[in-house]
Amino acid sequence: MAMLSTSLSGPKSATSYRAPEFSGLRRLCPNSNNSSSSNSHSQSFLRFCSPRKPLKSVVAMAGTGTFFVGGNWKCNGTKESITKLVSDLNSTKLESDVDVVVAPPFVYIDQVKSSLTDRIEIAAQNSWVSKGGAFTGEISVEQLKDIGCKWVILGHSERRHVIGEDNQFIGKKAAYALSQGLGVIACIGELLEEREAGKTFDVCYQQLKAFADAVPSWDNIVIAYEPVWAIGTGVVATPVQAQEVHVAIRDWLKNNVSAEVASKTRIIYGGSVNGGNCAELAKQEDIDGFLVGGASLKGPEFATIVNSVTFKKVAA
C-alpha cells in the first residue's frame, strides 16, 4: 500500500518509470506482453488525459455558485477537544465569499451550535430516510433541524461501503431531507478497483442518477466528489484527475437535468485535502470547494483551506 500511495500522489521520474497511457479514464496497455506486468500494475500512476484544452494556471469557477467548504469531523472528538477546536475556529479570519459548514458527531452538535460563530453553519453526518419513530439508533431530519442544523452529508463512502447503504436508499434520504428544508451534501465517488478498471464515470453517473431520480429539486444540493481511494489515505487526486471528473459531473448534469442546474450546482472535491494541496486544487475551473476530513479537525489548517478561495479570484 505504501508503494501504491507513492505512485498515486505524483509521477515518478521519466528515467526510472514509464506511466501507462490513459484515454479518458480507460487504461490502454501497450506493454501487455511484459512478464512483469502484474508488478507494474500495482505501481501504476493513476492519471489520464483530459479531452479539454490544458487548463490555465489560475482560473475562475465554471459554476455560478459560491465557493463551499465543509468539514466532516466524522467519529472524532471529545467535549474537551471540540471546545478547543471551536475556539480555534472562532479566532480564525475567513474569507467572506465562502459558504462554510462543519459536521460534528451527533452528540456534540448542540455544544458546537451554542458556541461556534454564526459565520459557520452546522451540518449532520447522516439522517434517516423518513420521519422519526421506532428506528433505533437513527436521527431524523426533524431532530436535526430542531437543534439548528442547516445541512446533512448523505452518500459518504463510509455509509455506502461500511454500512451498506445503496444508491436508491441514499437518493430517498436526500429527497426527504430536501423536502423538509435541509440542504444536502451529496457524496459520490469510485473505489480504487473501479478506477483501475476504467469505471470511474460509470460509477459516478449511477450514483448521480439515484439522486436525480429521487430529489424534487437541485436548489439546495452540493455534490461532493470523493474518490474512495483518496479518503483518509493521504493519497490525494492530482488537480488534473479531480478536474477531469468534475467536468464529467457537470456535463452529466447538463445532459440529464438541465444546463441551469449544471451551472448552479456546486461540485466540491474531497479526499485527503489539506492546507498544502488545497491551493492547486482550488485553481481548477470546475472545483467549487472542498469536503474536508482530517484537516478539518485543525482550526488553522481548516481556515487555510477555506481561504483557498483567493486562488479563484484572479481571472484566467
User: What is this structure's pTM?
Assistant: 0.82
For the chain, give every domain's residue range: 70-130+137-315
pLDDT score, position 62: 75
Question: Stretch 251-257: mean pLDDT, rounded?
Answer: 98
| Helices H / strands E in the chain, number of each | 13, 10
Confidence check: pLDDT of 35 > 80: no
**What mean pLDDT, rounded, does the chain reach?**
84
pLDDT score, position 101: 98
Q: Which of 121, 158, 194, 226 is catalytic?
A: 226
Residue 123: which of 115, 135, 114, 112 has the closest Cα? Answer: 112
Question: Stretch 255-283: mean pLDDT, rounded?
Answer: 97
Which of 182 and 63 is assigned the larger pLDDT?
182
Residue 156 annotated to the active site: yes
Collect contacts of 143-150 with beta carbons under 8 A, ≥24 apart: 144/109, 144/182, 145/180, 145/181, 145/182, 147/109, 147/110, 147/113, 148/109, 148/110, 148/113, 148/122, 149/109, 149/113, 149/122, 149/123, 149/124, 149/182, 150/101, 150/121, 150/122, 150/123, 150/182, 150/183
pLDDT tens-digit readout, 125-180:
999 999 999 999 999 999 999 999 999 999 999 999 999 999 999 999 999 999 99
CATH class of segment(s) 70-130+137-315: alpha beta
pLDDT score, position 43: 33
pLDDT score, position 25: 52
With beta carbons less than 8 A apart as the criterion, state whether 308 and 274 touch.
Answer: no
Q: Which of 156, 194, 244, 285 is catalytic?
A: 156
Rounded Cα distance, 116 and 122, in Å: 9
Confidence of residue 64 (pLDDT cuts 50, 70, 90): confident
pLDDT score, position 314: 61
